[in-house]
Amino acid sequence: MSESRSEKNWWHSATVYQIYPRSFFDSNGDGIGDLRGITLHLDYLKKLGIGLIWLSPIFKSPMDDNGYDISDYQDIAAEFGTLRDFEELLEEARKRDIGILLDLVVNHTSDEHPWFMEARKSEDNPFRNFYIWRDPDQDGGPPNSLQSSFGGPAWSYEPATGQYYFHQFSRRQPDLNWDNPEVRCEIYNMMNWWLDKGIAGFRMDVIDRIAKEVDSEITADGPRLHEYLQEMHRETLAERNVLTVGEAWSATPGSALLYCGEDRNELSMVFQFEHVTQQWDQLYGKWRSKPFDLVALKSVLGKWQHALANDGWNSLFWGNHDLPRVVSNYGDTAGYHRESATMLATALHLLKGTPFIYQGEEIGMTNAVFQRIEQYRDVETLNMHRLHIEAGLSVEEFIAGANRNSRDNARTPMQWNSAPHGGFTTGTPWIESNPNYPQINVNQNLRDDRSIWNHYRRLIALRKSEPVIVYGTYQGYFDQHPNLYVYTRTLGTRRVVIIANFTAESVTFTVPNELRGRGRCLISNYENIKELESGVTMRPFEAFAVLQQIERSSSC
Ligand code: TEU
Ligand code: CA
């Protein structure tokens, strides 16, 4: 049995579940999700079958960006609980063979972090060089035209010392100066402190942006990036056999192999976003996304499957806490909610790589339906609202864009049952629940064997029972077909054929000769699927996978 990747890792057959603590479960009625709320639901996750939980930031923070602005890396935000609560979560998860990944947010800190509180006091403060300061340009304005990802200049003026400091996100998230070895040392010590507690690894926030060169306007993929990641690996990750995934919006197949190639000693994998941004408008980005194009999506997914076939490792995700709900973005929540949600899960989870499920995706949660900007909470959405309206976009147009792509679409409370606020809290939730919780909730899914939840449970189990799903070689078919996604995974004499209809119409196609033949259905979202004989008609959003025994072909 030849496998493209020489060494197997414990996490290769695992599926990861991302939790946004603020919106998962509120255990004390203050309207904000918390750590005890997660511990109380570990059996729910155990039943789903996931092996790892990625926790979005839980650390002390003034919550300007919901925790992605940290003021103390080694303490828990009061609204989320205590270090004791975290240790209990870690222990209870371990008892259920579930590992915990923490979110490492070290491109920037909060402006309330003691390092910055000191740094902004004076130019000769010992912490000054923990951040990036520049004099105003000759007209007193920002040093250069670099922009923040949340809109507006990436520079803010500090009157106390008459200089500007750099921030790629909000002005309350000053960027750290990674060229300062003291900064790197502090971060490695903090990482080892958490790793010594027995966490399973890290998700690393905007890791492609830490080695910035602001004077030459380089923010992502800076020249010293991989030098720092290899140093980080030496100082913290080596010998620990943990999982690390780096968020890298700038990643390409080529640069991804620099991060996670087998001999690189940097990361296990990256989150690349080409399958997301290919749908965005050049000028307005996600605030005016283009119509869905399956051929474009398939070409991106196929490219990454081939590029990391023999080295590196792919992450697989449709959603996260920054992205719209997958069934709203690519599915049909009106006519074919269950069918489209299960089709999208099948099409993604049978690809090669590690799948990430974002909380609520496993029950088909949909985008929020906010009509007024006052209902939104996300710093990026509120900033962009101000800027786009000033730039002449109508409120209606902005709200329409936000309804499609605001990050708050992913942040409405988890829907557990049909009780008020979907059973998320006995108080008033920090952000409104989606009014469809009486129809879309965990209890309803657990009661229905054909539910979206049970489909995810089966997909997760397949990855553990079928090595071909983990290590099989990927091959796409009908790449130009506008409605169908057809691909195979082959390992030795076992081949899985995956067919998914991305439309609400029935689609008939002729099965290629080399794919014809009897097989065993591994999973489907419709009853009685047809044999892969000559022609097959796929019902609306139908998806299934068939396992076939084939002659050992020379290639595999
Ligand atoms: O996101 C990085 C990032 O680039 C996104 O904010 C992106 O610009 C935007 O969502 C595109 O829609 C990471 C975290 O995932 C995000 O939640 C944080 O706000 C951001 O970094 C800063 O820490
Ligand atoms: Ca709470």
Position in ligand 1 atom list of the atom nearest CA 108: 23
Ligand 1 neighbour 157 (Cβ under 6 A): no
- Nearest 5°: the CA angle 96, 98, 100 is 140
Are 302 and 385 part of one and the same domain?
A: yes
Q: Which pLDDT does position 4 carry in this prediction?
A: 47
User: For residues 289 and 200, which has the higher predicted lDDT (pLDDT)?
Assistant: 200
**What range does the domain containing 162 cover?**
114-166
Q: What is the mean pLDDT of the chain?
A: 95
In a domain, 177, yes or no: no
Distances (CA, A) of 162 to 133, 140, 159, 314, 527: 10, 10, 5, 46, 69
Point out the domain boundary residue: 404, 430, 458: 458
CA-wise closest residue to 38 among 315, 354, 416? 416
CA–centroid distance, residue 497 to ligand 2 (Å): 45
Q: Is pLDDT of 288 > 80?
A: no
pLDDT-based confidence at residue 289 (cuts at 50, 70, 90) = confident
Q: Is pLDDT of 6 > 60?
A: no
Are 147 and 199 part of one and the same domain?
A: no
511-536 confidence digits (pLDDT tens): 999 999 889 999 999 998 878 888 99
CA–centroid distance, residue 128 to ligand 1 (Å): 26
- Atom 11 in ligand 1: residue holding the nearest Cα: 322
Q: Which pLDDT does position 552 carry in this prediction?
A: 62
Q: What are the residues whose beta carbons fall under 8 Å from the beta carbon of 175, sequence distance 6 or more?
A: 107, 108, 131, 132, 165, 166, 167, 168, 212
Residue with tokens 């925790």: 67
182 included as an active-site residue: no
- Atom 18 in ligand 1: residue holding the nearest Cα: 68
Give me the CATH number covering residue 332: 3.20.20.80
Ligand nearest to the CA of 54: 1
Position in ligand 1 atom list of the atom nearest CA 149: 8
Position in ligand 1 atom list of the atom nearest CA 150: 8
Ligand nearest to the CA of 271: 1
Q: Helices marked H in 161-239 — which ranges? A: 181-195, 225-232
Looking at the structure of the chain, the number of domains it has is 3
CA–centroid distance, residue 323 to ligand 1 (Å): 9
Point out the domain boundary residue: 435, 458, 481: 458
Q: Is pLDDT of 2 > 60?
A: no
In a domain, 556, yes or no: no
263 included as an active-site residue: no
In a domain, 341, yes or no: yes
Position in ligand 1 atom list of the atom nearest CA 322: 10
Give me the CATH number covering residue 129: 3.90.400.10
- Atom 10 in ligand 1: residue holding the nearest Cα: 322
Q: What are the residues whose beta carbons fall under 8 Å from the beta carbon of 440, sequence distance 6 or more?
A: 337, 363, 364, 365, 366, 415, 434
Is 99 in contact with 201 (CB distance < 8 Å)?
Answer: yes
In a domain, 122, yes or no: yes
Are 54 and 193 part of one and the same domain?
A: yes
CA-wise closest residue to 451 among 460, 462, 463, 442? 442
Are 43 and 152 part of one and the same domain?
A: no
Is 98 in contact with 53 (CB distance < 8 Å)?
Answer: yes
Are 403 and 422 part of one and the same domain?
A: yes
- Atom 23 in ligand 1: residue holding the nearest Cα: 68
In a domain, 467, yes or no: no
Q: Which pLDDT does position 7 carry in this prediction?
A: 58
CA–centroid distance, residue 27 to ligand 2 (Å): 5
Q: Which pLDDT does position 286 carry in this prediction?
A: 85
Q: Is pLDDT of 5 > 70?
A: no
Q: Which pLDDT does position 287 carry in this prediction?
A: 79
CA–centroid distance, residue 432 to ligand 2 (Å): 15
In a domain, 305, yes or no: yes
Distances (CA, A) of 250 to 222, 254, 395, 396, 463: 11, 11, 31, 31, 29
d(CA 53, CA 290): 32
Is 165 in contact with 132 (CB distance < 8 Å)?
Answer: yes
74-89 confidence digits (pLDDT tens): 999 999 999 999 999 9
Ligand 1 neighbour 103 (Cβ under 6 A): no
Ligand 1 neighbour 175 (Cβ under 6 A): no
Point out the domain boundary residue: 458, 486, 507: 458
d(CA 153, CA 145): 7
Are 345 and 296 part of one and the same domain?
A: yes
66: alpha, beta or left? (left if phi > 0; alpha if psi -120 to 50) = left
pLDDT-based confidence at residue 556 (cuts at 50, 70, 90) = very low
Q: Is pLDDT of 429 > 50?
A: yes
- Atom 17 in ligand 1: residue holding the nearest Cα: 322
8-47 confidence digits (pLDDT tens): 789 999 999 999 999 999 999 999 999 999 999 999 999 9
Ligand nearest to the CA of 80: 2
CA–centroid distance, residue 140 to ligand 1 (Å): 29
CA–centroid distance, residue 413 to ligand 2 (Å): 12
Are 73 and 48 part of one and the same domain?
A: yes
Ligand 1 neighbour 378 (Cβ under 6 A): no
Is 466 in contact with 496 (CB distance < 8 Å)?
Answer: yes
Beta bridge partners of 489: 474, 496
DSSP reduced 3-state for 272: coil
d(CA 413, CA 362): 14
Q: Which pLDDT does position 553 carry in this prediction?
A: 54
> Given 65, 247, 266, 408, which residue is catalytic?
247
pTM over 0.95? The answer is: yes
d(CA 98, CA 525): 28
- Atom 9 in ligand 1: residue holding the nearest Cα: 322
In a domain, 175, yes or no: no
213-240 confidence digits (pLDDT tens): 999 999 999 999 999 999 999 999 999 9
Ligand 1 neighbour 69 (Cβ under 6 A): no
Are 486 and 512 part of one and the same domain?
A: yes
Q: Is pLDDT of 555 > 80?
A: no
Are 78 and 155 part of one and the same domain?
A: no
Are 418 and 485 part of one and the same domain?
A: no
d(CA 107, CA 214): 14
Give me the CATH number covering residue 478: 2.60.40.1180
- Atom 1 in ligand 1: residue holding the nearest Cα: 206
In a domain, 25, yes or no: yes
Are 437 and 521 part of one and the same domain?
A: no
Pair of tokens at residue 475: 């091959």
- Atom 14 in ligand 1: residue holding the nearest Cα: 205
Asked which of 39-53, 272-286, 336-350 is least confident by mean pLDDT, the reply is 272-286
Ligand 1 neighbour 206 (Cβ under 6 A): yes
Are 299 and 328 part of one and the same domain?
A: yes
CA–centroid distance, residue 77 to ligand 2 (Å): 11
d(CA 275, CA 259): 19
Q: Is pLDDT of 1 > 50?
A: no
